[in-house]
Structure 1
Amino acid sequence: MVAETKYCAICAWREKCQKRYSVRTDSMGNVYCNEYTRDLSLKRKEEGEEQNKEAATRIERYIEHQLRRMKVLSEEELKGGASGAVITISRETGTGGTEIANRLSQALKMDVMDNEIIEYVAESANISKKVIESLDEKEVSRRDAWIASFFEDKHLWPDQYLDHLTKIIATIGRYGNTIIVGRGAHYILPPEKLFRVRLVAPLENRIARVMETRKMTRKEAEKYILKTDNDRQAFIRKYFHMDITDPSHYDLVINMRIMTVDGAVEAIQAAFLKRKILEPPASAA
């Protein structure tokens, strides 16, 4: 291979780059300079900083939206302490958690955070939404994460995902007036600010619902339910050392066996507005 002196294409992202290096050509015909690795890492760092700024800006916009919304709500609408409060909804698969959360948000004039959390975490971690979805509410072994790292240009380890998830949920919870679906939010946020709901139903009821909503066969629906529930339980057990099925972790548990979505919304709304407002624990002097 004959070395020649010319501009390295990798440095093209630098508007003022004037370096000249001897370059090498690999088997795929790609041209690299001697400082390719360093330059590429600098490029990625700059890109990451820019995307982190964009993610922070988006979260700030959400907070501003919440503050503006709370200002325009009438005193009657805020009566009962809805302002600043957070409702968390933990659910068995096939109990209609997302639909109930959306209906409840309309009734209480609160925002909903469900799959939007994936987008916030992806932006915060400067990584693709696809990678975050592979970690969302799942237990991922170090071995599986290590293997996956070979197939992604940018990779996020499960512990790093949890750090970003905790930061996002804490930011959302700080200003409240939000319904958060899943993601262990009721283990992340302080209990005095929460109204914690758990939705359950017999397996047969859940299979029927998933078959209808996801257009699956009975076998597909049952497999999907069991896998999703196992993933969620394992996620909570691994990262929060808790049993997601323990009823003592919730303020209200609703069995959807004979309950309609509207009935569940009314029950949650009534219980939420009648709840006892807890004071935060006094800080140590």
Structure 2
Amino acid sequence: MATKPSKVPRVENILEDQVMKWQKRVDRRKKESAVKAPVITISRQPGILSDKLTKGLAEALKLDIFDNEIINEVAKSVKMSEKVVASLDEKTRSALDSWIQMLKSTRYLLPDTFLTHLTKVIGAIGEQGGALIIGRGANLILPPETTVRIRLVAPLGLRIVTLSREEKIASIDEAQRKIHKKESEQRAYIRKYFEVDIDDPVQYDLVINTQFMSDEQIIDVVKAGLKKKEVPKRRRFDPKPDEE
């Protein structure tokens, strides 16, 4: 019986290329005094097709895409997680550790090994800049002041039809069950690890109903949101000063 090929070697190769790209980007910023590229997170309701949109957005803003599969595999591997964090300078790594400790105290994060690696990996990716991160609660991990957090939504009926067509599901009832199952899993994951409701609009900068908008129109909306969002002068992971 043939064994299923492991995803890990492929992800390791992707990571090696990414670390090299980060280093070149840092060197270029030092020479040109360039501004750090933006970071965008995307959360989407099940049944929304966003591959074409995310690729178009990444191309338009010159961002690297980090999807669920890559984030998961890196977070599950101590070796790969450490490699991502090691791409940061010492001062930034220290600030990242402080940020994660603050997250644990304010969001009451579970003492979970995977979650610890996940927060470090997503935090390091965010600090490098130039990233489009899909799912995994990235909008709840990265500092909201320096991240554009997007939620894609659409009516249930439209999502059912879309999923049926995309996955060639003959039964509408089956497609609806799949969507409800995925929604329950997403909601449980966010509730378990971050103690918030995934549908809470306060957790996002832009909640976009994709029903009547083309990918090009959504990209224009995101670009406009990116221009309007002010970036503070303080470091990305510095804890906020105590309020009086």
Give yes or no for TM over 0.5. Answer: yes
Task: Tell me which of 269, 278, 283 is aligned to 2:223.
Answer: 269
Which is further off, 275-284 or 91-100? 275-284
* CA positional deviation for 1:275: 2.3
What residue number does 1:48 align with?
A: none
Q: Which runs of 5+ in 1 are unaligned?
A: 1-50, 127-156
What residue number does 1:66 align with?
A: 22
Q: 1:189–1:84: structure 2 CA closer, same or farther, 3 Å change rule?
A: same
Q: 1:282–1:161: structure 2 CA closer, same or farther, 3 Å change rule?
A: closer
Q: Does 1:178 align with 2:134?
A: no
Whole-angstrom CA distance in 2 between matches of 1:68 and 1:125: 22
Paired-residue identity, %: 37
Give the match's secondary structure for 1:197. Answer: strand
Q: Does 1:246 align with 2:204?
A: no
* CA positional deviation for 1:102: 1.6
Give the match's secondary structure for 1:112. Answer: strand
Task: Tell me which of 40, 54, 73 is aligned to 1:87.
Answer: 40
| Higher relative contact order (CA closer than 8 Å, sequence separation 6+) | 2
Output aligned runs, 1:70-219, within 5 Å: 71=28, 83-114=36-67, 115-124=69-78, 159-217=112-170, 218-219=172-173
Give the match's secondary structure for 1:219. Answer: helix
Q: 1:283–1:60: structure 2 CA closer, same or farther, 3 Å change rule?
A: farther
Give the match's secondary structure for 1:277. Answer: coil
Whole-angstrom CA distance in 1 between matches of 2:16 and 2:125: 10
Whole-angstrom CA distance in 1 between matches of 2:222 and 2:233: 21
TM-score by length of 2: 0.70
Whole-angstrom CA distance in 1 between matches of 2:18 and 2:73: 13
**In 2, are the aligned partners of 1:96 and 1:261 still within 8 Å (CA)?**
no
Whole-angstrom CA distance in 2 between matches of 1:96 and 1:275: 26
Q: Which runs of 5+ in 2 are unaligned?
A: 1-7, 81-109
Which is further off, 83-92 or 240-249? 83-92
Q: 1:234–1:283: structure 2 CA closer, same or farther, 3 Å change rule?
A: closer
* CA positional deviation for 1:257: 1.6
**In 2, are the aligned partners of 1:84 and 1:176 still within 8 Å (CA)?**
yes
Give the match's secondary structure for 1:267. Answer: helix
* CA positional deviation for 1:158: 9.4
Whole-angstrom CA distance in 2 between matches of 1:107 and 1:236: 29
**In 2, are the aligned partners of 1:125 and 1:164 still within 8 Å (CA)?**
no
Whole-angstrom CA distance in 1 between matches of 2:150 and 2:79: 29
Which is further off, 61-70 or 230-239? 61-70
Whole-angstrom CA distance in 2 between matches of 1:174 and 1:59: 16
* CA positional deviation for 1:262: 2.4
Whole-angstrom CA distance in 1 between matches of 2:240 and 2:187: 33
Q: 1:92–1:282: structure 2 CA closer, same or farther, 3 Å change rule?
A: closer
Whole-angstrom CA distance in 1 between matches of 2:24 and 2:17: 10
Task: From the CA coordinates, give the structure whose radius of gyration is larger.
Answer: 1
TM-score by length of 1: 0.60
| Post-superposition CA distance 1:141-160 (Å, at most 9, x none) | xxxxxxxxxxxxxxxx9922
User: Aligned Cα RMSD in Å?
Assistant: 3.0
